[in-house]
Amino acid sequence: MRILGFADKLNKHLSLQVLLAILLGIVTGVFYPGFAVQTQIVSLAFVAVIKPFIGPVIFLTVVSLFGSIVDLKRAGRISLKSFIYFELISVVAIMVGICCALIIRPGAIERSSLNQLLPRLSGVSGGTDWSNGMMTEYTILFLAFGIGIGLLINRSKHRGQIVGFLENARNLLFIVLRYVFLLAPLAAYCGIAYTVGKFGLDSLVPVGKLVAATYLSMFFFILVVFGGILRYFKVSLFSFLKSIKQELLYVLGTSSSTSVLPLLMDRLEIMGYRKSVVSLVTVTGNSFNLTGTCLYMGVAVIFLAQLYQIHFSFTEILTIIMVILMTSKGATGISGAGFVALATTIGTIHKIPVEGLAILLSIDRFMSEARAITNTIGHGVATVVISRNEPQ
């Protein structure tokens, strides 16, 4: 599929523009915090414009996919392989996060520094509607409805015409999104400027070890785990990241992996991966393959335990892994959804005071970017894994 056309010509230097916008946003936040805080509305508006496209794109993708499938057994096989991979890689991500936190000990900070930080966090919301990021029963019903409609179309004698119409509608939405993303540099500038202007870089100092532990663990996971998986399938990690670098910069600017899901799907198809695999893996992975969220939650739970000097037994660690594995499915990739999933996890464990979430809330914008980037790379890697395990 080729839908880039003129929009892609305009996008030619957009990656560099987004990167420069992020750097300029940091400078603005540091030196002009008053102005920077006022720019939040622009970044929120950008995400608000994109969000209405996500549902229709996913719905049209699912319906057209199941409407055009000739071998339903093959679709079932791809789905089964995907879910098995999702669960295995999620467990690995949680374990990496927990191990990194146990080694780095980000929760071992001075209480005096913590007490200075807490008053600044009262009433902080970050301007994010986390409830919109949670996967509810409606998400499952939405996907099930799309699959049902697709299977009905599959049995129709006019299947070809209907599927063709649906794919044209989907492609039209892709093209519109390409033009919308021309505003990504402005959104990235405003989003980063607001974050730095609102909280200040100095707000990271008391919890600097937590930020460092999170980013180091995700860097390790991408380099070693994802890199090892891709190398097994004879794919270079750095070449792969270079191919999706524009989508990753969009994620950095919007702090949301879901916002670029349609563009990532298109990019993976252009890279040569089959549409049937790309559609199934990325759409289901958007709810079940959130490695960045899983990893962050592993780090964050241990951080809070260390902060309050709570010790877990080996059995309790295993329980935490299982709880995170379940609650992480509720974070569908919208900015801030991982924080709600974490809050659900803390509430389920019962052993950690929920007041500690205020500390994590102050830096969630920084964490959300790391989660979203790792999630996005994870969707791409999953596509490679399932594609290479399917007969040509």
CA 337, CA 323: separation in Å to the nearest integer?
16
How do residues 347-388 score in pLDDT, each as one tens digit?
777 788 776 676 676 567 678 788 889 999 999 999 999 999
**Half-sphere exposure for 308 (CA within 13 Å, toward CB):** 15
Confidence of residue 330 (pLDDT cuts 50, 70, 90): low
Q: Tell me the per-residue pLDDT of 36-75, one tens digit each, with 9 for 90 and over.
A: 888 878 877 876 777 777 678 777 877 877 777 666 677 7
381/324 Cα distance (integer angstroms): 21
pLDDT digits (tens, 9 = 90+) for 92-109: 999 999 999 999 988 876
* 291 contact partners, CB below 8 Å, separation of at least 6: 89, 90, 93, 221, 374, 375, 378
Model pTM score: 0.71
| Class of residue 82 by CB neighbours under 10 A (exposed 0-12, middle 13-18, buried 19+) | buried
Minimal CA–CA distance to 200: which of 356, 382, 20, 30?
30
Q: Which domains does the chain have, with CATH numbers?
A: 5-388 (1.10.3860.10)
